[in-house]
Amino acid sequence: MSQLMSDAQVIQRVLDHVDAKTTDLSDTIWREPVENYRSQERFEQEMELFRRLPLVYCPSAALPEAGSYVARTLAGVPLVAVRGEDGVVRAFHNACRHRGMILAEGDGNARSLICRYHAWAYGLDGRLRYVPGEEGFPGLDKDAHGLVPVLAQERGGLIFVTIKEPISSGALEGLPDLIAPGQAVFEYSSFEDDANWKLLLETSMEGYHIKALHNKTFYPYGFDNLNVVETYGTNSRIVFPFRRIEKLRDKPVEEWRADGMLTHVYQLFPNTRLAILSNHYLLVILEPVSVSRSRWVIYRLRTPAANETAEDIEKSKRDAAFVRDNGVVEDREAARGIQQGMAGDGNTHFTFGRFEKAAVHFHQNLRAHLDMLAQR
């Protein structure tokens, strides 16, 4: 289990930063070659790394009951994850063992996975259950023709999938419990952007850009370049405080609460972030499509304290709409702008300074893992 600071400790550090006009700093700067964002060879190395790490596939809440399934592409590989009758989540290559047709699309609930080409049927455990006209396949060993599994692990309210033999525990090292049982998904969306996945990911790794990029959206409520940043394993947690946190100065420490005062953004290596906002949780998975294009996979969940009342539902929707239509739009525009700028030779490298501690930590771990992969 990770040893992250308590809410009271974070709040005290924020107040100290406000008084001193400081922020958490990295021990070093990092210079990342621009070629690493536009090289096809580097992109293919990253995709192979993705297949050898536990990656966030979806929240546990997306598979709430037996038969619930989610099908999508992960690291370029079509997969399907399904919760079995025994409550265990399993993941498989999304391909029929007869002629390779994908079995499922999107999400839903089913008692079995049936190929719509020839109706071969598989149980929720992946076993081949039924073959129409089985006499046409003499000697068919059903036990040897089940769906091909990949490793699925349910940790901290998230489903992790590892496609090949892993080279490290990745995001699972020190992972805290992030999403509580019972938190419901109230919105799902997916779309693509013309930007390298790392450019899109980096937009949420620092608060150095808040005043410049989010001048009329986030900045009126928050601070510019004031963050608490913790690293644990390959991951990091960045805390973005609201200005109203200063109201806590007049309260005893035992009454300090993070709700409405802090936004926690967990960066889960390599391509996922979870933002804990005032009235909802925002889970973003950035799926690389090509060296210059990425797919967003987004789940929005209610907070642990939310009820199914009309008022709570409306709060969640308003909170989600503000983040989606303002800050996220601005971050996406910034990443696409960098992607366009890389068409020229204006930069040989990008510099991540001491204000960008989480981004430095990310690139250090990405480089180390790619080196590990090259040595295999």
- pLDDT bin (cut points 50, 70, 90) of residue 51 is very high
Mean pLDDT of 32-43: 98
Please determine, for residue 311, whether its predicted confidence score (pLDDT) is greater than 90.
no
| CATH fold for domain 55-165 | Rieske Iron-sulfur Protein (2.102.10)
Please determine, for residue 59, whether its predicted confidence score (pLDDT) is greater than 60.
yes
- Please give the angle made by the CA atoms of 12, 17 and 18, to the nearest 5 degrees: 95
- pTM, 2 dp: 0.96
Q: What is the pLDDT of residues 103-155, one digit of tens each?
A: 999 999 999 999 999 999 999 999 999 999 999 999 999 999 999 999 999 99
What percentage of the chain exceeds 90 in pLDDT? Answer: 92
* pLDDT at site 327: 86
* pLDDT at site 310: 79
Q: Where are the domains of the chain?
A: 7-53+172-374, 55-165
Does this chain's domain 7-53+172-374 share its CATH topology with 55-165? no
Q: What is the pLDDT of residues 164-219, one digit of tens each?
A: 999 999 999 999 999 999 899 999 999 999 999 999 999 999 999 999 999 999 99
Please determine, for residue 1, whether its predicted confidence score (pLDDT) is greater than 50.
no
* pLDDT at site 2: 58
* pLDDT at site 324: 86
- pLDDT bin (cut points 50, 70, 90) of residue 371 is very high
CA-based end-to-end distance of the chain: 29
Average model confidence (pLDDT) for the chain? Answer: 96
Mean pLDDT of 301-310: 84
- Using alpha carbons, select from 24, 8, 80 the residue that is nearest to residue 227: 24
- CATH superfamily assigned to domain 7-53+172-374: Naphthalene 1,2-dioxygenase Alpha Subunit; Chain A, domain 1 (3.90.380.10)
* pLDDT at site 317: 84
Please determine, for residue 250, whether its predicted confidence score (pLDDT) is greater than 60.
yes
* pLDDT at site 243: 97
